[in-house]
Amino acid sequence: MSAEAARVAWLGWLARERRASPLTVEAYGRDSAAFLGFLTRHLGGEPDLAALAGLQVSDFRAWLASEARGGAGNATRARHLAAVRGYFRFLARRMGVRNPRLALLSTPRAKKPLPKALSEADARAVAEDIGEISEVVAIQARDTALMALLYGSGLRIAEALALSVGDAPLPGKDDMLRVTGKGSKQRIVPVLPAVREAMAAWLRYHPTREAAAPLFTGARGQRLNPGVAQRQLRIFRQQNGLPDHATPHALRHSFATHLLAGGADLRAIQDLLGHASLSTTQRYTAVDTAQLLETFHRTHPRG
């Protein structure tokens, strides 16, 4: 049997037995056809099942290299490789054709997208005006305190919602807040006076002053669900024409990006964000450079 006939059988099996969506079958069919087209050129003739079983790691790498030369990025090549691996799994299970060398191939890693920060004006608007979307004064105070804390101290939404009343940064208390981040690692972050004032305003409406109680609560007094915070910001974003990436996590990105733009040391930002690796924090330098270039092209007379 030719490799092409086996490919057609595989696509039929995906559609009939695995009940894959038509779009998935179409995408896998396109990717696997391109792979066999490369092999035809690479091997000097249309491959059969024996040729597929005899492919070496160097042959698979040559295919991925050809994809890269054609402009395919890591994410695209990873998707194509996933399709080919599915094809070879079918060959092994249904036709007894095995090629263990494919398992030795590492999947191209897609580059992480750059963090998307808000402009200083948009971030300030969220932190100061988020309460305007609600008619309930207590919810206004709660949302303002939460968003002010996310932007003012660079917390993850989960870190902020894990705080208890006894952790609340209030006027007159120590200027630092102890936060428990990923992997139960603790760090100390500063809290701005404006954040302390917003927190004090929220605690005036808080249902309890018990130190162990959740700092941010929902309608029933339980710990606030992150989906509620995300929904509140989504409503504010839509009402005020903010970009689609205006989310609670974007406030953390904005915290880091604006500190970097203001001249903060990268190591200090790493400590404030609780990043285990400096390379994670260094992504913000690319954001800063991208924003600088955008401003340059937008404002320069010859831009």
For the chain, what is the radius of gyration of the CA atoms? 27
- Copy the structure tokens of residue 281: 């924090």
> Annotated catalytic, 112?
no
- Considering 79, 98, 234, 249, which one is annotated as catalytic? 249
> Annotated catalytic, 111?
no
- Considering 7, 142, 196, 252, which one is annotated as catalytic? 252
Cα maximum dimension of the chain? 80
- Considering 7, 80, 196, 275, which one is annotated as catalytic? 275
> Annotated catalytic, 298?
no
> Annotated catalytic, 18?
no
- Considering 61, 94, 182, 267, which one is annotated as catalytic? 182
> Annotated catalytic, 284?
yes
**H/E/C letters for each residue in the chain?**
CEHHHHHHHHHHHHHHCCCCCHHHHHHHHHHHHHHHHHHHHHHCCCCEHHHHHCCCHHHHHHHHHHHHHCCCCHHHHHHHHHHHHHHHHHHHHHHCCCCHHHHHCCCCCCCCCCCCCCCHHHHHHHHHHHHHHCCCHHHHHHHHHHHHHHHHHCCCHHHHHCCEHHHCCCCCCCCEEEEECHHHCEEEEECCHHHHHHHHHHHCCCCCCCCCCECCECCCCCECCHHHHHHHHHHHHHHHCCCCCCCHHHHHHHHHHHHHHCCCCHHHHHHHHCCCCHHHHCHHHHHHHHHHHHHHHHHCCCC
> Annotated catalytic, 249?
yes
- Considering 7, 142, 156, 196, which one is annotated as catalytic? 156
Nearest-5° angle of CA 67, CA 69, CA 70?
A: 65
The residues assigned a catalytic role are 156, 182, 249, 252, 275, 284
